[in-house]
Amino acid sequence: MQKNLKRPEVLAPAGTLEKLKVAIDYGADAVYIGGQAYGLRSRAGNFSFEEMAEGVAYAKERGAKVYVAANMVTHEGNEKGAGEWFRTLRDLGIAAVIVSDPTLIAICAEEAPGLPIHLSTQSSATNYETLEFWKKQGLERVVLAREVSMEELAEIRKHTDIEIEAFVHGAMCISYSGRCVLSNYMSLRDANRGGCSQSCRWKYDLFDMPFGTERRSVEGKIPEEFSMSAVDMSMIEHIPDMVENGVDSLKIEGRMKSIHYVSTVANVYKAAVDAYLESPEAFEAIKDDLVDELWKVAQRELDTGFYYGVPTEDSQLFGARRKIPEFKFVGEVVAFDESTMTATIRQRNVIKEGDIIEFYGPGFRHVEASVENLRLAETGEKIDRAPKPMELLLIDLPSKVEPGDMIRKSGAGLINLYDKSGVAKTVRA
């Protein structure tokens, strides 16, 4: 390991207990989840206390931590019961709560002593004076606002020793640190109390409105309707900057994303941290592979957010996509019999005889194969196509795979829709 460099925590999202286990298996040092109160993802698979207890036990056995997001903005009455709720989290062994509202912070500190508090990105911490303020209130960590630049991050680190958590991957909010009321107006769902309907990602018409005349729609004169939708953040190529500037936790967004996403992104960022701490040369040697891997699960195009300047119109989703994933998640390995080189897989999407598939596992392992001798696990009946989700199947493989490995199918979409000149192309993967 390079001298004097602290290993940052890879912090992954976990919208369900299954995703929690997958994230940890694939390299996450910690996960953050939501409970059934006080969070901002009402549609995520939020955890019951029983599920939290199981998740904490699973994480502890593997040297990982579980944090709970309690980052809603409270209106009158929303804080009722918070003290008991925080005490329960503490007693379950939750490593910290992520909070933005000063009322909830005060209740947690007073009524659940011993439960560490992290300041949520919703609080828009953008300077070291703010971090020092929260340190004096007893908080252990601050999640920086996503609007902080790398230059500002470096300056913040020089002036405070409180732990810094910073986003490195996932969706960007068009509003400042997620504090938006667009959803409230458009769908009567309060974004700051867990109900965001992502109105910014809807399509909107544009109007030409000359002074003193009736407005006219410009429909058909532009490639698509207007939206405020931002591309996703990806800092995988800039992990050296995050490590060198003393970031304590690299945060991945996406509690509502799939196990395909969670496993891939946790795997990639763990590999990136390991490689850079070994040496800059080791990181450079695998950097392109890391980027390619992330594109296999990219939901939108990728950019670096505000880290290296204010995003331009190129960081917004206008027109046809320039690139989309080439792979589709199709299953996971349940068991592998080395004597027969047969894998038992649980199918998630349609898989067919002859499909080219890729197995990937923790530690950035990859095995490519074609689907050969596809059959039903229960009866051994040979089939040409398996369309039923969660069905157990058998396939023969030339190489060993491990239980828990995920399976992708290649050639599942359109790629590189624009060349460098901006001319539209259609290329099937």
Decide if pLDDT at 363 tops 50. yes
The predicted model scores a pTM of 0.88
pLDDT at position 416 is 41
**In angstroms, rounded to a whole number, what is the distance separating the alpha carbons of residues 310 and 364?**
33
Domain over 327-410 is classified CATH 2.40.30.10: yes
Strand 365-370 versus strand 406-410 pairing type? unpaired
The backbone torsions φ and ψ at residue 136, rounded to the nearest 5 degrees and listed phi first, read -65, -25
Return the residue matching tokens 């910014």.
200
Strand residue runs (E) in 53-95? 65-70
- From 158, 160, 161, 126, select the one nearest 143 (Cα to Cα): 126
Contacts 24+ apart (CB under 8 A), 104-111: 104/38, 104/70, 104/72, 104/74, 104/79, 105/137, 105/139, 107/79, 107/82, 107/83, 108/70, 108/82, 108/83, 109/137, 109/138, 110/83, 111/82, 111/83, 111/84, 111/86, 111/87
Give the pLDDT band of residue 211 (cuts 50, 70, 90). low
CB distance 159 to 152 below 8 Å:
no
Looking at the predicted structure, is the pLDDT value of residue 417 above 90?
no
* H or E stretch covering 373: strand 372-376
Q: How far apart are the first and last CA of the chain?
A: 39
CATH match of 9-172+230-311 with 3.20.20.380: yes
Strand partners, 369: 357
Q: Please determine, for residue 235, whether its predicted confidence score (pLDDT) is greater than 70.
A: yes
Q: What is the mean pLDDT of residues 256-273?
A: 96
| CA angle in degrees (0–180, nearest 5) for 352-354-356 | 95
With 80 as the cut, is the pLDDT of residue 312 above it? Answer: no
Nearest by Cα to 320 from 297, 302, 292, 301: 301
Nearest to 274 by CA among 252, 255, 303, 250: 250
pLDDT-based confidence at 429, cuts 50/70/90?
A: very low
Q: What are the pLDDT digits (tens) for 41-95?
A: 555 568 999 999 999 999 999 999 999 999 888 889 888 899 999 999 999 999 9
**Rounded mean pLDDT of 274-299?**
94
Whether the pLDDT of residue 366 is over 80: the answer is yes
Q: Where are the domains of the chain?
A: 9-172+230-311, 178-217, 327-410
For 26-47, the pLDDT digits (tens) are 999 999 999 887 765 555 568 9
Q: List, for residues 151-203, the tens digit of each pLDDT value.
A: 999 999 999 999 999 999 998 877 776 677 777 877 877 666 667 777 777 77
Mean pLDDT within 289-295: 94
